Amino acid sequence: MTPTVSAPRTRSGGALKLAIPRGALWDETLDALDRIGLDTAEMRGDSRSLIFNLDGVTLVTMRPSDVPTYVESGAADLGITGKDVLLEQRGDHIVYEILDLAYGACRMVLAGRKGDESMGESERRVGGMRIATKYPHIAERYFEETGRQAEVIEVKGSVELAPLAGLADGIVDLVATGRTLEENGLEIREEIAGSTARLVANRISHKLRAAEVDDLVERLRPEKP
């Protein structure tokens, strides 16, 4: 394999391939598929399979952050992933963002320890704060856009640990209920962006399989509140 040409995937026609995120969006995604008449009972069991064939749609399951990779290459025609993933990978993958599925709502926030002034003090006295995050691109872009300097430190595990252990002054992280922050004595200081589940499409599938894609989009389209 050369590292210079994105690997093409053979697209044989047949069933549409939909990339499905395991993890936080899994249950609500299966609920959404049930609502459009696909029977996901088989997927809800403890099956270790990664690929499922349901009524004319092939579902391939993966980490949410892999969905744009599979969809960009055409290995999946469509995919479901969080807006947070799309924001973090912005520009890395060319996929069409075609529908807001409205579920999986959460917020990207800047948080610090309750009552702690170290973010402000670092800004004043050493020119920038230290921020730990699993979303370095979102964090860097946010501080750039708001005209502030920050040292963004990428961590892979529990990000709440960083300000408690003294690695960072604050964190940028995804918050659904806010309970994890609360339990660790952290509080939200600023809201960066909202996120919900999004339907994305491969650009060639969106054109060459237009009727099937549009049909699926209309069935998945959430009712306006």
Tokens read off for 148: 């502030």
| Residues 20, 62 contacting (CB under 8 angstroms) | yes
Per-position x/- string for 141-180, each x denoting binding to another protein as judged by CB under 8 A, each - no binding: ----------------------------------------
**Do the Cβ atoms of 81 and 21 come closer than 8 Å?**
yes
- Match 């599938």 to its residue by tokens: 205
d(CA 101, CA 196): 7
Q: Which CB atom, from 122 or from 202, has the smaller least distance to another protein?
A: 202
Cβ distance to another protein smaller for residue 92 or 182 = 92
Residue with smaller CB distance to another protein, 52 or 96:
96
Task: Please tell me whether residue 14 binds another protein under the rule CB under 8 A.
Answer: no
The reply on whether position 210 binds another protein by CB under 8 A is yes
By the 8 A CB rule, do 164 and 113 touch? yes
Q: Please identify which residue in 21, 64, 68, 74 interacts with another protein, judged by CB under 8 A.
A: 74
Binding of another protein by 194 (CB under 8 A) = no
What residues have CB less than 8 Å from 125, skipping those under 6 apart? Answer: none
10 binds another protein (CB under 8 A): yes
Stretch that binds another protein, among 34-42, 56-64, 69-77, 158-166 (CB under 8 A): 69-77
Contact 31, 19 (CB under 8 A): no
Task: Please report whether residue 208 would count as binding another protein according to CB under 8 A.
Answer: yes
Per rule CB under 8 A, is residue 12 in the interface with another protein? Answer: yes
Q: How would you list the strands of the sheet with 129-133, edge to edge?
A: 150-154, 129-133, 170-175, 106-113, 186-195
Residue type for 35, please? R
* Cα(191)–Cα(171) distance, integer angstroms: 12
Contact status: 206 vs another protein (CB under 8 A):
yes
Kindly write out the interface string for residues 92-131 of this chain, putting x where it contacts another protein by CB under 8 A and - elsewhere. Answer: x---xxxxx-------------------------------
Query: How many chain residues are in contact with another protein, going by CB under 8 A?
Result: 33
Compute the distance between CA of residue 200 and CA of residue 181 in angstroms, rounded to an integer: 30
Count Cα atoms within 13 angstroms, Cβ side, for 19. 28
Binding window for another protein (CB under 8 A); candidates: 1-9, 27-35, 48-56, 144-152: 1-9
Give CA separation, 129 vs 117, 122, 171, in Å: 11, 5, 10
Task: Name the residues that contact another protein, by CB under 8 A.
Answer: 2-6, 8-13, 72-75, 91-92, 96-100, 198, 202-208, 210-211, 214
